[in-house]
Structure 1
């Protein structure tokens, strides 16, 4: 899904569109760019399997699709990509969700064999973004990244996000998707996972920066994990059919919180 304001609104906000046909804009010292590309080729998929040491990957991986938020003067770059997300999935081995039909699964690459899954086939990931530094100021004398996320008490001002100021740029970047062999859907736009008839799981990451011309950027990240079974939702009087849960905003209001934290990106004083 792509949408952007007209050029007059962009200029009125002190922003400008990115050059050379790139999707995004520059505003208040930030460059925001989204890239939507096609699925990985079979050759690239094989390379990813080797790097991740697994033959179990989502049906559709958009390996070259990215969302990049770059603070130009400091070189701070926050970005979202499929490979890092799958590294998070691989390193957080959640137990496999049992589908209603059986505890066994006909795995798509071996349709004539019954295999009991021993991995998280929903591809749930704790991934909440990657950060890199493109200037030497973000690296210490030993070459280590000096930027890090620290837990904080500050909260994202949700009311400010719902203000009626014009939306200058919006895009939805899908990183990977899997239909879970007709048992639901796993979709990483970093939004929602659903296993029909069994489980609803939402892992949500929001990154916010309040613009200020005379101070360093304050970058807050809100990370949440919400989850419930369809049975538990039905016991509270909520619908138990999967068609009622296509909107992540509706889902977030009905699922109990498993984990929630806010973090602030610490920027070195020398910048």
Structure 2
């Protein structure tokens, strides 16, 4: 696993060389502009076609069903010059692999209510909230005075005698260096001209006691459309955000997941689930934040080798929930 602390320090101390920005890249970094641009593309394609596809469609093509339009955009890793622009726009050093042009968008045509997922918004949620008690994850690192490897090999006692007491490295930055994000998607309302309004009151959202019916989701149905979109991650897949969605005859389901595994330290799993039953005037959105230290897992008798924790799906049931939030998103 790549040392996240070390890689982040290097990224901060050795900033990217600035490059001239291009409009083609910058338009995806503003949430309102990004949604508006993708909606315009959807509608242009609709004009060019006699009708939208009514079954599984080719990758990247919009899919229309039951009054909704779904589209997933997938592209390459954001290049260096555009990554500079993205980082400056949100005030942070971005992670190793950002898919700045990737986007998932779900649009309710009658009301204009739109749900979008994009990298810049997910990363923006890594900033600590004002007034919160969130703190940087502190990782103890042994500080060793410099010495050549040959000298250490010849003098094994040198290493132990020159290790200074463990110190806690704490970065003085305003965002979580592990890129922990509580991103739940970007809500907007698209007007008749295709312009997205992303203000807080654009879409009505209320807290609810109603829950997603997972038994209903277990019923076997045809998958009419599906997409899996990555927003950002590291090279070894030890942290990142990905969005999975599927459309069935009865409705659609979205799972947005942030995961992070810091070897021998902690596991985090933040998940947003969205479910809509076609014909109803609302969607249900559920958010859960889970976390557990590896010391806790080991003490409970679970395997103590990191190879057992490479796939979050195989051990997520061991990670307890720290917080949860349940919402109803109205379509009127």
Q: Same fold (TM over 0.5)?
A: yes
TM-score after normalising by structure 2: 0.63
Q: Is the 8 A contact 1:193 1:202 kept in 2?
A: yes
Aligned counterpart in structure 1 of residue 85 of structure 2, from 40, 47, 53: 47
Match of 2:24 in 1: none
Q: Deviations over 1:233-269 (max 9, x none)?
A: 112222233332344333331111111111011333x
Greater RCO, 1 or 2 (C-alpha within 8 Å, sep 6+): 1
Q: 1:33 aligns with which of 63, 71, 86?
A: 71
For the pair shown, the structure with the greater C-alpha radius of gyration is 2
Q: Is the 8 A contact 1:103 1:116 kept in 2?
A: no
Quick check: 1:88 aligned with 2:144? Answer: no
5+ residue gaps in structure 2? 1-52, 145-168, 243-255
Matching residue within 183, 186, 210 for 2:239: 186
Calculate the aligned-residue CA RMSD, in Å: 3.0
Following superposition, the deviation at residue 103 of structure 1 comes to 8.2
Structure 2 CA distance for aligned equivalents of residues 264 and 176 of structure 1? 27
Uncovered stretches (5+) of structure 1, i.e. residues with no partner:
1-13, 105-114
Equivalent of residue 309 in structure 2, options 240, 245, 252: 245
CA distance in structure 1 between the aligned counterparts of 2:303 and 2:223, rounded to whole angstroms: 32
Greater shift in the superposed pair: 26-35 or 151-160: 26-35
In 2, Cα distance between equivalents of 1:257 and 1:103: 34
Normalised by the length of structure 1, the TM-score is: 0.76
How many residues matched?
235
Aligned to 2:238, the other structure's residue is in SS state strand
**The one of 270, 274, 284 aligned to 1:207:** 274
Measured at CA, do residues 169 and 136 of structure 1 come closer, stay the same or move farther in structure 2, by a change above 3 Å?
Answer: closer
Distance 1:78 1:51, change over 3 A: same
Q: Which has the higher helix share?
A: 2
In the TM superposition, 1:104-119 aligns within 5 A as: 116-119=170-173
8 Å CA contact 1:34, 1:68 repeated in 2: yes
Q: CA deviation at 1:91?
A: 4.0
Give the secondary-structure state (helix, strand or coil) at the position aligned to 1:200. strand
Whole-angstrom distance in 1 between the partners of 2:143 and 2:221:
50
Contact 2:60 2:74 in 1 (8 A): no
1:74 deviation in Å? 1.2
